[in-house]
Amino acid sequence: MSDQGLSYQQLDPVGSYGSRPITAVISLGIVALAAGATALSWPVVSDPVTAFLAILATSISVLGITFWSSPLRAPFRWSGFLIVLIFAGLSLVLSALSTWTTSPAVFGQWAPIAVGLILVQLSSYRPARELISTTILGGMLAGTMALLHPVSGAFVLPVLVRVLDAALPLVALGLGATAYSSGLARSLGLWYARSELNERTVSAAMKDRVVRSVQNDRVSILNHTVVPFFTEMLARDTVTDEDRSRARSIAGKIRSAMVADVDRSWLDSILDQLAEQRADRNTPGSEAVQDPHRAASAMTTEQRIVIRAVVIALFNHPGFDSDGFAILITGGSARSVVTVTAKLDDDDSVTRSDLAPYFAVLRIAFGNFHLTFQRPALTLKFSYDHR
């Protein structure tokens, strides 16, 4: 799928999570606009019930956006998008009907603006091609309602002006929203393409340090056991029973160490590294991981990165209690389920805490994400297909 087919939320979950306060402010603004404009134009409202229903439909639409843009429900799904649009379209129609028989020159102007702002809200969560399609359909609906709307009075606006008055706010904001979404997808797509190249450069610069570190580890093991034995053998040039027994013993030790290394997953390594780095904080090591089928190795690079970041964020949380921490990976040969349990002494709702952006990223990187928090027990459950 091209970057243009992806939403900002899919390309940058943390960044789009950052849009939520703005989404909330616009939501409040839309409801205030609907209520305020209806109140101000009350003299031309012919059907108060329909006017009220129009405000209600708008409110449901923005509530839907607030609900589905939560990091716990990411990515913003097509079904949610559709429901939001249905109620937005309904508000457009109901708003026009509410002034139908009193026949002002144009129907209430707040609904096309409100629907346009709803599209602006959606621009962080849905891809550009859906926004442009919706803008065209919304513009056509608003224009059609304006054409059908009865007009009377001494001064009648030209037809083109009436159609544009009805459709333009929605179309202008919808086009703006499309430009916002596609601009973000393009910029982030370019950045990712460049960063892939940069990563190779970074790896090359760090490679020497890593290789030297591994080599030093191995050489120190060899110097301790193998080198003295081989040197002695070469000097003596004969093999005895005792040498054979010593060779078996050294080989057994080396083999055991190698088997342990081979059986360690990247997840074990992360936890052991963290435990080593934070020795003073009783951080759990690889013993907290239960992965009987070695399914951790079947995660993608992106999934590994997200798990690593989430584990570190949990460990850094001031209310984290290492006693209750465990990672369990279960499942079959094609799909696994990860259950992370932790004790978290947090007064705040975890969905509003500093951990919330990580949950947004988890939701995007894995399927079927479920979070339960009954203070202090936090459980994260998610699944993935094996790569």
As measured in angstroms, the least distance from the Cβ of 304 to another protein is 5
Copy the structure tokens of residue 286: 């690889």
Site for another protein in 310-369 (CB under 8 A): 312-313, 354, 357-358, 361
Nearer residue to another protein within complex by CB, 345 or 354: 354
Amino acid at residue number 200:
R
Q: Does residue 50 bind another protein (CB under 8 A)? A: no
CA torsion, ordered 30, 34, 35, 37, to nearest 10 deg: 120
Q: Does residue 306 belong to the site contacting another protein (CB under 8 A)?
A: yes
List the one residue from 6, 34, 45, 113 that touches another protein (CB under 8 A).
113
- Closest to another protein by CB, 22 vs 377, is 22
Question: What CA–CA distance (Å, rounded) separates 162 from 145?
Answer: 10
Instruction: Give the residue carrying structure tokens 């990563």.
Output: 199
* Listed ranges 87-95, 140-148, 243-251, 338-346: which one lies at the site for another protein (CB under 8 A): 243-251
Q: Exposed e or buried b for every residue in 260-278, given b needs 16+ CB within 10 A?
A: eeeeebebbebbbebbeee
Q: Does 195 bind another protein (CB under 8 A)?
A: yes
Exactly one of 77, 239, 276, 372 binds another protein (CB under 8 A); that residue is 239
Which residue among 79, 301, 333, 374 contacts another protein (CB under 8 A)? 301
Q: Which stretch binds another protein (CB under 8 A): 204-212, 317-325, 334-342, 368-376?
A: 204-212
Rounded Cα gap, residues 49 and 90, in angstroms:
14
Element (H, E) at 377: strand 377-385
**Site for another protein contains 1 (CB under 8 A):** no
- Between 82 and 219, whose beta carbon lies closer to another protein? 219
Please tell me whether residue 244 binds another protein under the rule CB under 8 A: yes
| Residue type for position 140 | M
Q: How far apart are CA 351 and CA 358, in angstroms?
A: 10
d(CA 330, CA 339): 8
> Reduced to 3 states, what is the DSSP secondary structure of residue 157?
coil
Region near another protein per CB under 8 A, out of 9-17, 48-56, 80-88, 327-335: 9-17
Quick note: the x/- pattern for another protein over 126-165, rule CB under 8 A, is ----------------------------xx-xxxxx--xx
3-state secondary structure of 329: strand
**Which residues, 165 to 194, sit near another protein by CB under 8 A?**
165, 168-169, 171-173, 175-184, 187-188, 191
Which residues does residue 367 pair with via DSSP β-bridges, in sequence order? 383
Strands 320-331 and 289-290: parallel
Considering beta carbons, is residue 205 or 374 the nearer one to another protein? 205
Question: Of 255 and 370, which has the nearer Cβ to another protein?
Answer: 255
Query: Using the rule CB under 8 A, is 377 a contact of another protein?
Result: no
Q: What are phi and psi of 197, to 5 degrees?
A: -65, -40
Chain positions 206 to 235 lying near another protein, rule: CB under 8 A, are: 206-208, 210-211, 213-215, 218-219, 222-223, 226-227, 230-231, 233-234
- Long-range pairs, 276-281, Cβ under 8 A, ≥24: 278/315, 281/315, 281/322
